[in-house]
Amino acid sequence: MLKNTLAESIVENASSLKGMPYVAGSLEVSGKERLVWYNDRFDCVTFVEYVLALSIHQTTSKTSKCSFEDILQKIRYRDGIIDGYGSRLHYFSEWILQNEMNGIVRNVTDEMSQTNYTKKINFMTSNSNKYQGLSLNSELKKVKQAEDRINLFHWNYIPKMMVNDISDHIESGDIIAITSDQKELDISHIGFAIRIGKHLHLLHASETEGMVVISKKPLSEYLMGNSRQTGIMLIRPILF
């Protein structure tokens, strides 16, 4: 049954996955880079991508010939093209840029805050030995180009001290991208905003809890409880 809006579909689909196990590295498969997805295990990124692709597919199935897999590939890969490990959007900030260009999301952070998020992003190339997919120079070059693209862009973020003040402007189904104080890294965690009563919470695949959960604490308190989380970027899904 089709949902009335994309946001409603996102909240319903994401909520239906509560309790599914957290599994890291599920996309790191041997052999040639290919589209991989599961509906019964997630990390924070694969959870958001799966729910977003499924919700778009359900909401547009009467007007679009795109399959779920078509949409997921468009979301996950640069220009929607699978061309080796480096064509995947490993950095969530590049994911934002690509999917804004795709017309799938809108970065509404600037509407809430003009606080600069100034960092040099090069975590993957600085730690290339940790990524088997970067053993080929061709793939390392693609990721380096992605880092250069990110670093040319002007980013703002919403400091966590401000989140409670602007929470009324955050909608259920929005993507919450959590910024980090970790050197060379842009985003440390992502999930969906969900309103429970008067409070805004995070619906996410939690490594700490080992499953998909709704945060016990409201979003602002959740952020304040983690010293390495500095704030958020706010990304709003739209229908392309």
Q: Which two tokens stand for residue 175?
A: 């993507």
Q: Which two tokens stand for residue 7?
A: 């946001």
How confident is the prediction along the chain (240 residues), in pLDDT tens digits per residue?
Answer: 334 599 999 999 999 999 999 999 999 988 899 999 999 999 999 999 999 999 999 999 888 889 999 999 999 999 999 999 999 999 999 999 999 999 999 999 999 999 999 999 999 999 999 999 999 999 999 999 999 999 999 999 999 999 999 999 999 999 999 999 999 999 999 999 999 999 999 999 999 999 999 999 999 999 999 999 999 999 999 976
What residue ranges do the domains of the chain occupy? 6-237
Task: Enter the DSSP assignment of 18.
Answer: T
Fold exhibited by the domain 6-237: Putative xylanase fold (1.10.3670)
Quick count: other Cβ atoms within 10 Å of Cβ 188?
A: 17
Supply the pTM of this predicted model.
Answer: 0.95
Residue 186 makes CB contacts below 8 A (sequence gap 6+) with 91, 92, 93, 119, 121, 150, 155, 179, 180
| Closest by Cα among 155, 173, 165 to 233 | 155
| Closest by Cα among 163, 207, 230, 186 to 91 | 186
